[in-house]
């Protein structure tokens, strides 16, 4: 089993950020305003966490905005290393965002619902830097755009990993009990964690360290 990138999402404090980095996670996800889901903090809180960390920390702003200027306004304030797009932007908006942030890592979330998710994922090869496969439903009455704690069809995720030109993170219900099965089934480039390494909503150091140890064993 080769080493994978680890992204710990829903970071809500500097303490959690340092805990994740101390456990050897590479990326930190910071969640801005969302229609639903856990871990939401204000842009000011995100800015404060980013400012307090070393300048080369791979911090990632999660945004549900769908217009490039709204996203640029958020990023101008928080100045994260990357931006994760949890909803689908119109192509013209995404291209404008890409052109405006040429040095910023863009991560596009694909909510794996059925086989149509494969063709959707393949549209992004020249537009973003990473894909992230999650278990939300952007078409629900109240959109769920992440943090569901549910797994999805890993066969579809595996095909996306195989066919996409982009590196891929796997998300959705990952925890220490299923990480090795997920690795074998999907073979992604990295894993994205949230509820599976938390206890009563708080980042759990023992769960996190166990997850990372299992993800990087073999």
Domain boundaries, the chain: 5-215
Model pTM greater than 0.85?
yes
For residue 1, is pLDDT > 50? no
Domain 5-215, what fold? TIM Barrel (3.20.20)
Element (H, E) at 83: strand 82-85
Distance of alpha carbon 57 from alpha carbon 28, whole angstroms: 8
What interhelical angle do 68-78 and 91-100 show, nearest 10? 30
Q: pLDDT tens across 49-102, in order? A: 999 999 999 999 999 999 999 999 999 999 999 999 999 999 999 999 999 999
Beta strands in 137-178 (DSSP E): 168-170
For residue 218, is pLDDT > 60? no
């Amino acid at each position: 089993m080769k080493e994978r990138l680890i992204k710990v999402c829903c970071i809500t404090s500097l303490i959690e950020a340092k805990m994740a980095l101390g456990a050897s996670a590479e990326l930190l996800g910071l969640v801005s305003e969302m229609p639903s889901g856990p871990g939401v903090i204000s842009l000011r809180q995100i800015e404060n966490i980013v400012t307090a960390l070393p300048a080369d920390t791979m911090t990632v702003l999660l945004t549900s905005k769908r217009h490039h200027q709204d996203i640029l306004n958020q990023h101008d304030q928080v100045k994260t290393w990357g931006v994760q797009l949890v909803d689908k932007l119109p192509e013209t908006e995404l291209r404008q965002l890409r052109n405006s942030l040429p040095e910023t890592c863009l991560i596009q979330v694909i909510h794996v619902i059925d086989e149509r998710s494969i063709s959707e994922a393949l549209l992004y090869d020249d537009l973003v830097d990473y894909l992230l496969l999650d278990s939300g439903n952007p078409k629900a009455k109240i959109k769920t755009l992440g943090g569901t704690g549910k797994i999805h069809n890993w066969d579809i995720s595996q095909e996306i990993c195989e066919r996409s030109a982009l590196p891929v993170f796997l998300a959705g219900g990952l925890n220490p009990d299923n990480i090795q099965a997920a690795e074998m089934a999907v073979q992604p480039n990295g894993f994205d964690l949230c509820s599976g390494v938390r206890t009563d909503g708080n980042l759990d150091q023992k769960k996190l360290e166990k997850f990372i140890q299992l993800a990087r064993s073999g």
